[in-house]
Amino acid sequence: MDDGESVYDTVSSALEIGYRHIDTASTYRNEEGVGRAIADSGIPREEIFVTTKVWNDEQGYEETLAAFDRSLKRLNLDYVDLYLVHWPIPGMYKDTWQALEKIYRDKRARAIGVSNFHPHHSDDLMKDVTIKPMINQIELHPQLSQVEVREYCKEHGIAVEAWSPIGKATYLDHPVLKELAEKYNRTAAQIMIRWDYQNDIITIPKSVHADRQKENADIFDFELSNEDMEKIESLNSGNRLGTDPDTVSLDSF
């Protein structure tokens, strides 16, 4: 979603509904609108959790420090809550990480992490770090349940965050999700988001519609049984909707 009124209105409505975590990125070109919506919301800064990310062509030590300054300026903030390396660009993510460590030590990011890192990327990165990644934001939804990355992160004390948590709404009519939606008197989107919540996965569903924003946040008053959690887990088919991190290079996207 580009900058301008659409992102301003979307973030304003989410904040009004009760959302307190906003996920943006330098490459989304909407940090200014996000910042304006936060400023105009009247909500104390410390109650809102803002994530942004360094884009691929901004990676490298000095480049990342400069990119972070630009992001903060666009957001009109003096710190972010979480700063992420957006993709593991070969040959660059280690220098990038050194910049994130500095930003963290300078208290300009309250937490630092990675995105789209397979376990082998994290292993490689962690050979040379002082501060290890606190979070890994990955594509994760019932058809791409990312068992291996989740196990790796658990073992290393890294929180897991799901992007495209409702599979970009491409399989809301899946029979198993429909059956569970009927059983719990919820929607398929709510079933998927609740599945994340019960798995301790941080989740960031996106909608530009206030009614869907409300729907997606309304998942705290029901509980999926263990059997149904497993039923959802069994939908894993490796259906990747985005790019495989192993194929990404500086020229991707």
Binding site for ligand NDP (CB under 6 A): 23, 86, 115-116, 137, 163-169, 172, 187, 189, 204-209, 212, 215-216, 242
Choose among ligand LYEC3VGP, ligand NDP, none what residue 169 binds, the Cβ cut-off being 5 to 8 Å by kind.
ligand NDP
Catalytic residue among 28, 61, 79, 197: 28
Would you call 8 a catalytic residue per the annotation? no
Instruction: Kindly list the residues in this chain that would bind ligand LYEC3VGP in the complex (CB under 6 A).
Output: 25, 27, 86, 242, 253
Measured from the CB atom, the residue of 23 and 228 that comes closer to ligand LYEC3VGP is 23
Choose among ligand NDP, ligand LYEC3VGP, none what residue 27 binds, the Cβ cut-off being 5 to 8 Å by kind.
ligand LYEC3VGP
Choose among ligand LYEC3VGP, ligand NDP, none what residue 56 binds, the Cβ cut-off being 5 to 8 Å by kind.
none
Choose among ligand LYEC3VGP, ligand NDP, none what residue 253 binds, the Cβ cut-off being 5 to 8 Å by kind.
ligand LYEC3VGP
Least gap, CB of 105 to ligand LYEC3VGP (angstroms): 26
Least gap, CB of 245 to ligand LYEC3VGP (angstroms): 10
Residue whose token pair is 């709404």? 169
Least gap, CB of 240 to ligand LYEC3VGP (angstroms): 12
Spell out the SS3 assignment of the chain: CCCCHHHHHHHHHHHHHCCCEEECCHHHCCHHHHHHHHHHHCCCHHHCEEEEEECHHHCCHHHHHHHHHHHHHHHCCCCECEEEECCCCCCCHHHHHHHHHHHHHCCCECCEEEECCCHHHHHHHHCCCCCCCCEEEEECECCECCHHHHHHHHHHCCEEEEECCCHHHCCCCCHHHHHHHHHHCCCHHHHHHHHHHHCCCEECCCCCCHHHHHHHHCCCCCCCCHHHHHHHHCCCCCCCCCCCHHHCCCCCC
Which among 116, 119, 151, 152 has a CA at the least distance from the CA of 137? 116
Measured from the CB atom, the residue of 72 and 204 that comes closer to ligand NDP is 204
Residue closest to ligand LYEC3VGP (Cβ): 253
Given a contact cutoff of 8 angstroms between Cβ atoms, the answer to whether 103 and 77 are in contact is: no
Residue 86 annotated as part of some ligand binding site: yes
| Residues labelled catalytic | 28
Annotated binding site for substrate: 86
